[in-house]
Amino acid sequence: MNHEQVKIPQATAKRLPLYYRFLKNLHASGKQRVSSAELSEAVKVDSATIRRDFSYFGALGKKGYGYNVNYLLSFFRKTLDQDEITEVALVGVGNLGTAFLNYNFMKNNNTKIVMAFDVDEAKVGLKVGGVPVYHLDELEQHLNKDIPVAILTVPAHVAQPITDRLVKQGVKGILNFTPARLNVPEHIRVHHIDLAVELQSLVYFLKHYPAE
Ligand code: ATP
């Protein structure tokens, strides 16, 4: 099957990293095959959705056999560009930004924060989690086309002007942890994660829709 020709629906693509992480663990423990029921239980996605998702990957589960773990892994690796490291920049080395720099995602997949920016002179020039922190004034000097993704962990009121500069430098995707709603050209992708809203919504659901 030609991996380049596969066009996966967005909702399916979003579940890919989840499947990938679980299958990597399965593979490490020596398992060769997995059923959609097992997968469903582990990743908390219903098995009909899993079967539909996997049909896009050209992986057709066989009754009584399940899915071939190696096949799926090699597909995911190609599709998620696991063979290539995607470089990421982070702006705002506060509490949250510092946590990301120390964590740096390498355990899960091949994305790597390679540089960070801040305006606080006390932070500029430091290395946090091994990542150099530059002054925001030097953004244009350091950020080049090889860095397609940026994480925003700055105060909300500065998020938009920083975003405009990131886009000018060729950033294609922004993971926005600020509460600000960002305006970007159509070809730029913003994923918004407002931790306070997520937490509030969880508390709301617990109160109003308690699990059986
Ligand atoms: P801290 O306690 O270190 O200030 P915080 O996460 O509570 O962290 P925030 O006010 O949210 O503080 O700021 C996050 C980080 O963003 C800080 O390190 C701050 O210096 C930095 N920051 C503020 N304005 C800008 C800006 N215009 N460009 C880049 N970084 C900025």
pLDDT for 26-76, tens place per residue? 899 999 888 888 889 988 999 889 888 888 877 666 666 788 898 888 888
91 CA to centre of ligand 1 in angstroms: 9
Would you state the pLDDT for residue 137?
A: 98
Question: Ligand 1 pocket: which residues have CB below 6 Å?
Answer: 91-97, 117-120, 123, 136, 153-155, 158, 162
Residues 39 and 104 grouped into a single domain: no
Q: Report how far residue 4's alpha carbon sits from residue 114's, in angstroms, rounded to the nearest whole number.
A: 28
Residues 108 and 57 grouped into a single domain: no
133 CA to centre of ligand 1 in angstroms: 13
Residues 143 and 172 grouped into a single domain: yes
**Which of the 8 DSSP states describes residue 183?**
P
Question: What's the domain range around 40?
Answer: 3-78
Residues 105 and 144 grouped into a single domain: yes
Ligand 1 atom closest to Cα of residue 96: 6
Would you state the pLDDT for residue 1?
A: 40
Number of domains in the chain: 2
Would you state the pLDDT for residue 109?
A: 64
Collapsing DSSP to helix, strand or coil, 127 comes out as strand
Residue nearest to atom 10 of ligand 1 (CA): 155
Residues 51 and 7 grouped into a single domain: yes
Ligand 1 atom closest to Cα of residue 155: 11
Residue 211 maps to a domain: no
Residues 179 and 133 grouped into a single domain: yes
**Which is nearest to 87 in space by CA: 127, 132, 121, 126?**
132
Would you state the pLDDT for residue 3?
A: 44
Would you state the pLDDT for residue 92?
A: 98
**What ipTM does this complex have?**
0.93
Regions of the chain where pLDDT drops below 70: 1-6, 59-64, 81-83, 107-109, 212
Ligand 1 atom closest to Cα of residue 93: 18
Chain centroid to CA 156: how far?
21
Helices 69-79 and 10-28 sit at what angle, rounded to 10 degrees?
A: 130
Would you state the pLDDT for residue 2?
A: 43
CB 3 within 8 A of CB 79: yes
Residue 137 maps to a domain: yes
CB 122 within 8 A of CB 81: no
Q: Which helix (H) or strand (E) segment is 64 a member of? A: none
Residues 162 and 185 grouped into a single domain: yes
Q: Report how far residue 193's alpha carbon sits from residue 99's, in angstroms, rounded to the nearest whole number.
A: 15
Residues 6+ apart with CB under 8 A from 117: 89, 90, 91, 92, 93, 133, 134, 135, 136, 138, 139, 142
Would you state the pLDDT for residue 4?
A: 46
Q: Report how far residue 45's alpha carbon sits from residue 19's, in angstroms, rounded to the nearest whole number.
A: 10
